Amino acid sequence: MKHNIDSKGYYGKFGGAYIPEMLYPNVEELRQNYLKIMAEPSFKKEFDQLLKDYVGRPSPLYFAKRLSEKYNTKVYLKREDLNHTGAHKVNNTIGQILMAQRLGKTRIIAETGAGQHGVATATVCALMGMECIVYMGEIDIARQAPNVARMKMLGAEVRPALSGSRTLKDATNEAIRDWINNPIDTHYIIGSVVGPHPYPDMVARFQAIVSEEIKWQLLEKEGTEKPDYVVACVGGGSNAAGAFYHYLEDTDVKLIAVEAAGKGIHSGESAATSVLGREGIIHGSKTLLMQTKDGQITEPYSISAGLDYPGVGPMHAHLYTSGRAEFISITDDDAMIAGLELSKLEGIIPAIETSHSLAIFDKKTFKKEDVVVINLSGRGDKDLQNYIDYFKL
Ligand SMILES: Cc1ncc(COP(=O)(O)O)c(C=O)c1O
């Protein structure tokens, strides 16, 4: 079975482009051009150069000695937290701003949950001198205040989304509305492997640098390109897509996707899409979606703003239903404890999103000789206040 996208924009039965007619010209323009543009030598050269000199790639693959000793297995951390702006999101925004320039666009819009994608978008807009508007749920604006301040300082306008759960889903709705109203000059930089085709594929390709690097870094350290496990947290799924990308068709490498169980999978306050979701359409793509019996989207919940999304990218919906990836759900409490543990054991304060993937060691036992690569998707600076409040530090 094939796990990556087919020529029609589907991962198995998931994906496609289910969009209002008024978005069609924008999405079609992108679909017709994205692969051609990405293959241009001048695009590749500029993308690689910026990833190296501006983002600071390659990000290290770090052997976490004390964490490995504690859980009696070999744990490597892929340090996306060390990227400029503090998370993996910037790999994608660098790619998309170059894409927008080549499509002749002058105005950028984006949605953001944790604010990492918003910051990464505001950053590349400052870099390229482009107008930038970021939509963000009102709740997320409150819980990710440092990132809101950063976006403003970088020259972006942050517009609050006031409907629904006032989180990521609602911010995405506002961004789509804006794009419909501004079809000619605007490019929408989607921040994850979600949205209508070609977004999930385009974002996955920009993030694929993560597994491209893991392969040669692991070869240097372990004499093989293949870990036994690759682990990543999943909101929409972009850091996981990047970490899995070059291993998708290699079933020797086991893939683990970690979702947010919030206050418990069946508590009514959760974002565990694979367990709770059914087939549906959200933001232009057919995927697994948390919804009521009559198809209304269920409001998601997670302590981490970046995992608080009722859907999941179509690649992940397919990885789940095909059984290619194992999905594990982690509660707020378990994630917070794991975040504090990494801070104390390794001197690395992770983003709360990332803390979810670090909590798997209490759910799953690995063999001593297993090589487990965890994608450390982001740093915890933006979450310090949340950690302080939670642990009463
Ligand atoms: C540090 C970090 N990790 C993970 C995520 C989840 O997004 P994705 O599933 O697209 O990687 C976010 C989203 O904001 C994030 O900031």
Q: What is the pTM of this model?
A: 0.98
Domains of the chain, by residue range, sit at 12-50+89-203, 56-87+208-391
Per-residue pLDDT 10s for the chain (393 aa) are 789 999 999 999 999 999 999 999 999 999 999 999 999 999 999 999 999 999 999 999 999 999 999 999 999 999 999 999 999 999 999 999 999 999 999 999 999 998 999 999 999 999 999 999 999 999 999 989 999 999 999 999 999 999 998 999 999 999 999 999 999 999 999 999 999 999 999 999 999 999 999 999 999 999 999 999 999 999 999 999 999 999 999 999 999 999 999 999 999 999 999 999 999 999 999 999 999 999 999 989 999 999 999 999 999 999 999 999 999 999 999 999 999 999 999 999 999 999 999 999 999 999 999 999 999 999 999 999 999 999 999
| Residue 211: closest CA among 199, 226, 224 | 226
Q: How many CA atoms lie within 13 A of 309 on its CB side?
A: 33
Which pLDDT value is given to residue 143?
Answer: 86
Pocket of ligand 1 (CB under 6 A): 87, 113-114, 116-117, 192, 233-239, 306-307, 351, 353-354, 377-378
Asked if the domains 12-50+89-203 and 56-87+208-391 are classified in one and the same CATH topology, the answer is yes
CB 54 within 8 A of CB 94: yes
The CATH number given to 12-50+89-203 is 3.40.50.1100
Choosing among 3.30.70.20, 3.40.50.1100, 3.30.300.30, 3.90.650.10, the CATH entry for 56-87+208-391 is 3.40.50.1100
β partners of residue 61: 78
List the catalytic residue out of 270, 285, 377, 382.
Answer: 377
Which pLDDT value is given to residue 1?
Answer: 76
β partners of residue 350: 379
Question: What number does the ligand 1 atom closest to the CA of 114 have?
Answer: 14
| Residue 60: closest CA among 277, 218, 250, 294 | 218
Question: What number does the ligand 1 atom closest to the CA of 115 have?
Answer: 14
The kind and range of the H/E element at 112 are strand 107-112
Length in residues, the chain: 393
In angstroms, rounded to a whole number, what is the distance separating the alpha carbons of residues 360 and 131? Answer: 41
Which pLDDT value is given to residue 162?
Answer: 97
Span from the CA of 235 to the centroid of ligand 1 (angstroms): 6
